[in-house]
Each structure stands twice: as structure tokens, then as C-alpha cells.
Structure 1
Amino acid sequence: KALVQYKQTEVARSKIPKGVNSVVAAFVTCYGRLMLYELMEKAGNNLVYGDTDSCMIVTRRSGYDPSPDFIWPPHLQNPLKLEMGEYLGMLTDEVAEKYGSDWVATRFVSPCSKTYSLAVENVQDKEINKTFKHIMRCKGFGLSNKTKDTINHDSYVDLVKKRLPNISVPTTQFRGRHEGGVDLITAPKKLSFVYSKRKIVDNYETREWGYKDPLP
């Protein structure tokens, strides 16, 4: 059951189509996040990143048939079964949709919230020096040809491993004058490794704040 109170105005009535249902819309977004949270909880330590509508999970590559003597690492011996499809409540492989089924994400790094780089490679490419494509996000910074030499996958890795204290990018900013008017100035904007959501433990794994290991 849901109790929703709202006031219908003339302006709203003229713009909202008759087929719109605010209660259904609220429940779809609500249950979408509940299902995503349930998936994240099942993924456990194999979850590397999550957002409001997506998550990144370490799992076996679809269609990969290893040799009989191959032994999967412990965290992939019982992989999470993912329901893939195009219908409501199902998951889609955004890497395969963008680059094709031969492309697989193999590397991930995130120096801070809403900032990450996902490296994808062509598994059919047998070259030793493979060419990677990167899906990158950087909160507060614009990604362009001007910043690609500064903000990239390798610089993110250097931040996480503390090889770099920060990444400095010159940006154009508006600054108001006390007497009135606006000046355009160029000032450095810095990106640092900031992670306060969880506690970082060995091998870059994380735990909730207040987490205690179970007793033997």
C-alpha cells in the first residue's frame, strides 16, 4: 500500500500525459534499487563498483572453456548466476553492447567516488602487447583530448598506489570581483585518492566501518 498526496495544478495537468502514473513510476525506481542492492549483496567480495543503476562484478567470462587441468581461483569456483536479458529486472552487458562480444573487461581502478577506469580487451587478439580500450569517469573533471595525457588509467593506478600525490589539471574558472564584474582565470584543479566510504585492508580489499572478523 502507498499513500501519496499531491496537488494537481493547471500547468501540471496540461503537461503530464494521461498514461503517466506517479505511483508506478515511484515503485519501479524503488524496486530497481532494491534488486540492485540484492545483487550487490550476493556478489560479496566480487563486487568492485556500484552505482544507482549498475554494478561491476568479477565473474567468469561467458563462453570461456578452459583446459581440463585448469583450476579456477577460489573467488570464481562458485560464480554468481546472472540473469541476462532485455526485460525489466534483467541485466545487460554494457561492454558487449558497446564493443562486441569479443571484448571483455579485465582491469579496473577507482581512486575515489564516481571516478573509475575500466579497461577492456579483445580476447580474440593473440598479440603480446594488447591494445586496451577504456571506459572512464571522472567526477568534476571534463575528459577530452586535452586531459587524456593527465587523466587516464595509468594515472589512476599511480594515485591508488600512492606513486602520485594528486593529478593537477588546469581549468578555466569564473571569479567575481568585489567591485563587480567577472574575471576568467586559469587555476589548477586537483584529483586525489580519497576513499572514506569503507576501510581499506590488505590487497586493496575493503570492509565496512566497524566490521570485525568472525571468531575462530
Structure 2
Amino acid sequence: MPLLIILGILLLLLFWGCGQYNGLVGQDENVKKVWNNVQSQYQRRADLIPNLVRTVQGEANFERGTLEAVINARAKATSMQINPENLTPENIERFQQAQSQLSGSLSRLLVSVEQYPNLRANEAFRNLQTQLEGTENRITVARNDFNEAVQSYNLSVRRFPVALFAGAMGFHPRQGFQADPGSQNAPRVDFDNGATSNNPPAPRVQVDTVTR
């Protein structure tokens, strides 16, 4: 009888352990899936930039340095694709820095456009501006979804008693996106009335990346 009891307890522990392991696998795969969604939305923004640059280049005497900053920042950002299997804190930070640099360059470009009435009235430019605005919103949603998935996964990994064996089975806490330094003061542009963050009224278009 004692042997049967011990075997029964071991079987219960085995089934419980399998359930916990499978649960962690599912959450880990979800983190990877939403990370791919994040990269997809950033890539969508990157794909819009060449058309934006070509449109702006058509305006005589537009600041060459501003355009070059956007082009260089885009090249760096698109080279920072990270495999979901390698979501280390260091890689997340490097990815975020590259994307934040591109966001800042885009913001400066759009602020510079205020000095060019022909560009502000250009239908192709306005269409691109609208697409960029929508993409920034999608990026925000994707980043928030990623942070929520990471939070849920981290809670499972750190809770007792799963925390006793999670690390040995290859499950470690992950890092989500952090708020960009100064993101609360990000530049804004209103193409309808020429206002910026330093010149009220409140802006309509924001070109930056926001996290929860």
C-alpha cells in the first residue's frame, strides 16, 4: 500500500509537471509570435520611407542632411531584425534604440516639411503621411501586445513552484519594451495648420513609438 501511494503521488507530479511545461511552451511561443508582429509593423514603416524620401527630394533645396539622417537611420533599423529564439535583453535594447533613432529622424523630417508649402499641399506626400500615422498606431498596438505577452509569460516562469524547475527546462524571464527616453516630449506635427509641439494648438499627427 505505501508503494502504491508513492507511485500515485509520483504520477500526479508527473502529470502536473507535464501540464506546467506545456503551458510554458505555449506562452513562450506566443511571445515569439507577437514579437514577429512587432517586427512586421516596423518593417511596414520602413517600406514607406523610400517613397517618402523620393517625394521630399522633389522639392528644391530641401535639407540634404535631414534626408540623409532618415536614410541612414532606416538602414540601421532594417538591419536589426532579431530572431524570436534570441530575444535577449541586450538584443531588445539594441532593436529599440535603432527604431527610436529612426522615429526621431522621421520627426525632424516632418517638422522640416512645415517650411515647404508645396510639399504640404502635395497629395502623394499627404497620403504617405496618413499611412505613416496609421503605421505608428499599429506599432504602438504591437508593442503593447508584446509587453502583455511577456508579462504573462514572466508571471508563469517566476511563480512558485514552477520557478524551481523553469530555468532548468530552458524557460527564463524575458524583457519587454521600455519607454523611450523623453518619449513624453516627442515632436508632433499638424499638417493642417502648421503647428508643432512648441506652437499650439495641439498636434494631430505623432511620429514616434509609444509603449505602455
More strand by share: 1
* TM category, shorter: under 0.3
Normalising by structure 2, we get a TM-score of 0.25
More helix by share: 2
Relative CO higher for 1 or 2, CA cutoff 8 Å, sep ≥ 6?
2
Normalising by structure 1, we get a TM-score of 0.25
